Amino acid sequence: MKKILLVIYDSFSEFEITVATAMLRGTTEIVTVADSLKTVTGESGLQFAPHLMFQQVDATEYEGIIIPGGDLINVKDVKELYDLTKTLNDHHKLTAAICSGTYVLARAGVLEDKPYTVTLHQEQRNFLGCFEEENFRYEPVVATGNVITAQGHAYVDFALSIAEKLGALTHPDFTKEFYKGERNRLMEEGVK
């Protein structure tokens, strides 16, 4: 089974990645990774135990990395995260970030000369000093090669992009319609 890394850190936004992890279930093992093995408390107050620390990861074993948004204070000085992200990207592995998690990609040098989106306004992007403003796009999802970035509110489209990239959609139309709240074909078939 394929494996992908999911970055977790105190205050990370669980809702931004739960649809993606649900879509990958059954085709891809989700391995949580953090800067230590201590329990992490997400934005909602739920607690998570990381499987690995960043420095324990052998990048060749993974299809890529997913980085959720959250309070950047908790990732701003985590050099091991930036190094791991850059290594995965350099090996053309999926490098996906949503909301403020895109900051990690920018700090790692992954976004150089690439279009991207991030849920940080222009003043914040300028203050952080690692974003190429001319490449910012205010779009729900921006995908270029192996790099996927998304606005925080576009978590379903983000998940679909990841699942498509990893070949995890066995019933693409059903999955898209279901997670976008458009229809549930199984229920419709049962009602007829």
Task: Provide the b/e sequence for 106-115 (b: ≥16 CB within 10 Å).
Answer: bbbebbeeeb
Which neighbouring-strand residues pair with 35? none
Q: Which of left, alpha, beta for 109 (phi over 0: left; psi -120 to 50: alpha)?
A: left
How much is the pLDDT for 177?
Answer: 83
Residue 148 pairs in a beta bridge with 96, 143
Residue 125's pLDDT is 94
User: In Å, what is the CA distance from 124 to each residue of 103, 172, 188?
Assistant: 11, 36, 46
Query: What is the per-residue pLDDT for 179?
Result: 81
Q: What is the band of 102 on the pLDDT scale with cuts at 50, 70, 90?
A: very high
pLDDT digits (tens, 9 = 90+) for 37-92: 999 999 999 999 999 999 999 999 999 999 999 999 999 999 999 999 999 999 99
Q: How confident is the model at residue 190 (pLDDT cuts 50, 70, 90)?
A: low
List of residues 6+ apart from 4 with CB closer than 8 A: 24, 28, 29, 30, 31, 62, 63, 64, 65, 66, 94, 166
Architecture of domain 2-191: 3-Layer(aba) Sandwich (3.40)
Q: Does residue 189 register a pLDDT over 60?
A: yes
Q: pTM for the complete prediction?
A: 0.93
Identify the DSSP state of 151: -
The 3-state secondary structure of 13-47, one letter per residue = CCHHHHHHHHHHCCCEEEEEEECCCCCEECCCCCE
